[in-house]
Amino acid sequence: MSSKRPDGIEEYDAPAGGWGALKAVAATLKQQQVMTQGPLTLLKANQPDGFDCPGCAWPDPNHTSAFEFCENGAKAISWESTSKRAGPDFFAGHTVSELWDWTDHKLEDQGRLTTPMIYDSTIDQYKPIAWDEAFERIGKELRALESPDQAEFYTSGRASNEAAFMYQLFVRAFGTNNFPDCSNMCHEATSVGLPKSIGVGKGTVSLHDFDHADAIISIGHNPGTNHPRMMTTLHKASRRGVPIVVFNPLKERALERFAAPQNPLEMATFSSTAIASAYHQVKAGGDLAALKGIMKLLLERDAADLAAGGKGLLARDFINMHTVGFEDLKRDLLQTEWEQIYRKSGLKRAAFESTADVYLSSKRLIICYGMGITQHSIGTQVVQQLANLLLLGGHMGREGAGICPLRGHSNVQGDRTVGITEIPNRALIDGMERAFGFRPRQDKGHSAVESIEAIIDGRSKALVCLGGNLAVAMSDPEATYAGMRKLDLAVHLATKLNRSHLLTAKTSIVLPVLGRTDQDIQATGLQSVTVEDSMSMVHASRGFLKPPSDQLKSEPAIIAMMAKATLGDRYGIDWEGLAADYDRIRDKIEIVFPDFFDFNKRVRMPGGFRLDVPAASREWHTDNGKANFLVAGGLEEDIRFDDPDVLILTTLRSHGQYNTTVYNMDDRYRGVFGRRDIIFMSEQDLKARGLADGDKIDITGVKVGNSTPQTVAAFTAVRYDIPVGTIAGYYPEMNKVIALADLDTTSGTPAYKGVPVMVRRSAG
Ligand SMILES: Nc1nc2c(c(=O)[nH]1)N[C@H]1C(S)=C(S)[C@@H](COP(=O)(O)OP(=O)(O)OC[C@H]3O[C@@H](n4cnc5c(=O)[nH]c(N)nc54)[C@H](O)[C@@H]3O)O[C@H]1N2
Ligand SMILES: Nc1nc2c(c(=O)[nH]1)N[C@H]1C(S)=C(S)[C@@H](COP(=O)(O)OP(=O)(O)OC[C@H]3O[C@@H](n4cnc5c(=O)[nH]c(N)nc54)[C@H](O)[C@@H]3O)O[C@H]1N2
Ligand SMILES: [Mo]
């Protein structure tokens, strides 16, 4: 097609990775002014004696000898180790109202925070406050609440195990279970869904299993951008001849072809390796139909084999010995009609036939998945269908097979493991009593969406955020912003300035923290923290850069002092002692969670240790002691509207962002440069609305619950290879059209990938 494309839209022909990625790293280092420390910083990432890359939760190969190249890891690290600073001078030069009009990129690009700051409403500015005074204020405000349940304690998934554990100790001693968490916006469908299926809310595979898999299904995730180190693994698998079957509405370049920067031949010859053996462009929200289709075809072929006198094609022995619910699943699949499956998934018969071929010729299958699965109104049930599909072939608990949720933040899984949860179980409460001699409450607290609802209604009056950018990450920011501006107290522990900090409460305090790359020195000397990756490996991380300011404190230290100022000597917890030596925190973690036995010893071994994942050895810690086939009724993943005018919007990360952190305005692999104000649409959907490539459009959310439909105006429609009925735009810009009530009611996860919207030509 030769017609002129909209500004900034180009065909990007190169493979993912390769020279383009190396060039991008050089540009990032320059932009963040880290040339002097930068390359050294990068070389230490994910090394046995280095720090854990804050980029993602993909594990490190134990035997790492050379720096594992990763473009987006490099961006994450240089963004943190930048030499730019947002100190008192900066804040003295700008009112909060002025900063509000800046872009998210510009706010964070001011650099690292250097001093504790408190908002002064008389001048509409943040000004410095001494640490002691800040803690005193926070303690006073928290104690003044009528009930501890009027406070919300948010955690973003970069917090280390030590920080997260201290935080939950503080909050439980304070007396609430209000633990909104970024997990509630991310893999909660996994944490809630998988325990019912296989008895553990985590992935079952390790990196080793990828070397032994003979087929991989990749569904609803974009590793070229979000887990680039996974590309090394997929690249290797593909070169071994392992079929990789992809289900994704967009043709993500890295899943099509990838040039490994570590591979001299590919780099020298500008060649690349095909990753996907088959690429199925499923509709957004069509995965439930797709998965049921695959399973239905497996049953049909199995029945045919049995009828012809064969032994059947499913793992009958495994199903009989290890599972419950097969007949219910079968009934559901038999009554699901093929026509409906094709229509909802957008896939044709051939896609199902070829996937069934791969499935039936494989002995060891891994399924990898991400937000394309979890962020739907019944995300939990869709996750369970992935488990069903694996169980039919016995692909659980054997080498080279299993389920692989791609976690988001580098320690989002660990934070949950060490007690950040609004639904504490008995074991956690017992453990806390063992370790600290008091028995915390066990009733359910608030998840992320519930915390926002409570803030909007005025039921909650205080918000403490251990990192993150909650207001911007959440759906319906208009309502969220208004709610947060009514708070009595807002406290943010952060590395950099972001929009959530500008939603000022009566008392607003921003506390600057050490990052992963910074040296953390406490009373007993240099400290290490620990993190758990996507594959349940726990290992140490030690920063080594000189901190950006001598005023910064570590997260565990800040939490300890906040707790002391709020709780005094309640329960006799030795806050100073814990913060002085993180080994003592780890000793307490071990008492609360026996899986961490010999924690301090084992974490000092190169590569750390793996937490027990019972399902990986076919131990099912479910209520009935078996793995369960679980039925999801129907084929609808998202709220359904009969109106043909309603499109389903899925929201994506660009290649130049980390969640709400926008590094730059490019989305290289999708051919978008210098802008984010676009919506990808199929030619057919454009035509049906009388629109052309490049036209200005307004996108309006459809009313869900008691939401007020919001509009994002004057974005540009971009013709794109995407299924009819599905459109895509960037997170967080598109959050405005997402209703708070549009969520997975089982897990509380907002349906960010299945948003019903209307698209109209812009009036202006
Ligand atoms: N560089 C970088 N790394 C990151 C992050 C980042 O922002 N930047 N974020 C981190 C975090 S917190 C997380 S949770 C992970 C997120 O990692 P991903 O799970 O990869 O997240 P998304 O970018 O939301 O991408 C979703 C993918 O699913 C596809 N998709 C959308 N809707 C559907 C659907 O209905 N069905 C299917 N099958 N596919 C769909 C999209 O086309 C896209 O390829 O990455 C982590 N790593
Ligand atoms: N529409 C839509 N919305 C989404 C998603 C989506 O796919 N679509 N994805 C959801 C997902 S998966 C997630 S995880 C959430 C992300 O939600 P959050 O985790 O709340 O957001 P982030 O953008 O990762 O947070 C960035 C901020 O963290 C702070 N920070 C960075 N490093 C550190 C550190 O080491 N310590 C501390 N204390 N602070 C630090 C910085 O100040 C930075 O501004 O967004 C969710 N929202
Ligand atoms: Mo996430």
DSSP string, 394-417: T-SSSTT-EEEE--SSTTHHHHHH
Residues paired with residue 255 on neighbouring β-strands, in sequence order: none
Select from 287, 371, 744, 747 the residue to mutate for testing ligand 1; criterion: most ligand atoms less than 8 Å from CB: 371
Question: Does ligand 2 lie within 6 Å of residue 735's CB atom?
Answer: yes
The residue contributing the CA closest to ligand 2 atom 14 is 182
Give per-residue pLDDT as tens, 348-357: 999 999 999 9
Rg (the chain; Cα; Å): 25
Question: Alpha-carbon distance 442 to 434, whole Å?
Answer: 15
Residues paired with residue 595 on neighbouring β-strands, in sequence order: none
Q: Looking at the CA of 449, name the nearest ligand.
A: 2
Secondary structure of 541-595 in HEC code, one letter for each residue:
ECCCECCCCCCCECHHHHHHHHHHHHHCCHHHCCHHHHHHCHHHHHHHHHHHCHH
Ligand 2 centroid vs 470 CA: distance in angstroms?
A: 7
Give per-residue pLDDT as tens, 655-706: 999 999 999 999 999 999 999 999 999 999 999 999 999 999 999 999 999 8
Question: Does ligand 2 lie within 6 Å of residue 716's CB atom?
Answer: no
Determine the topology of domain 187-406+642-764 in CATH.
Dimethylsulfoxide Reductase; domain 2 (3.40.228)
Residue 35: the pLDDT is 46
The residue contributing the CA closest to ligand 1 atom 8 is 658
The DSSP 8-state label assigned to residue 250 in this structure reads: S
The residue contributing the CA closest to ligand 2 atom 22 is 468
pLDDT exceeds cutoff 50 at 251: yes
Q: What CATH number labels 85-186+411-606?
A: 3.40.50.740
pLDDT exceeds cutoff 70 at 62: no
Ligand 1 centroid vs 507 CA: distance in angstroms?
A: 35
Give per-residue pLDDT as tens, 195-231: 999 999 999 999 999 999 999 999 999 999 999 989 9
The residue contributing the CA closest to ligand 1 atom 11 is 408
The residue length of the chain stands at 764
Q: Looking at the CA of 742, name the nearest ligand.
A: 2
Place of tokens 């899925």: 650
Lowest mean pLDDT among 64-78, 145-159, 542-556: 64-78
List all residues 6 or more positions away from 183 whose beta carbon is below 8 Å from its beta carbon: 157, 191, 412, 415, 416, 420
Give per-residue pLDDT as tens, 448-464: 999 999 999 999 999 99
pLDDT exceeds cutoff 50 at 368: yes
Give per-residue pLDDT as tens, 487-514: 999 999 999 999 999 999 999 999 999 9
Question: Does ligand 1 lie within 6 Å of residue 285's CB atom?
Answer: yes
Work out the angle between the directed axes of helices 287-307 and 326-335 (0-180°, nearest 10): 100
Give per-residue pLDDT as tens, 580-631: 999 999 999 999 999 999 999 999 988 899 999 999 999 999 999 999 999 9
Lowest mean pLDDT among 109-118, 189-198, 454-463, 533-542: 533-542
Locate the ligand 2 atom nearest the alpha carbon of residue 498 and give its number.
44
397 vs 643, more confident? 397
Question: Does ligand 2 lie within 6 Å of residue 18's CB atom?
Answer: no
Give per-residue pLDDT as tens, 86-96: 999 999 999 99
Question: Alpha-carbon distance 385 to 367, whole Å?
Answer: 11
Residue 74: the pLDDT is 81
- Residue 245 neighbours by CB distance under 10 Å: 23
Domain-wise residue ranges, the chain: 16-81, 85-186+411-606, 187-406+642-764
Q: What does the mean pLDDT of the chain come to? A: 93
Ligand 3 centroid vs 203 CA: distance in angstroms?
A: 15
pLDDT exceeds cutoff 70 at 519: yes
Give per-residue pLDDT as tens, 711-753: 999 999 999 999 999 999 999 999 999 999 999 999 999 999 9
The residue contributing the CA closest to ligand 2 atom 47 is 473
Q: Looking at the CA of 80, name the nearest ligand.
A: 2
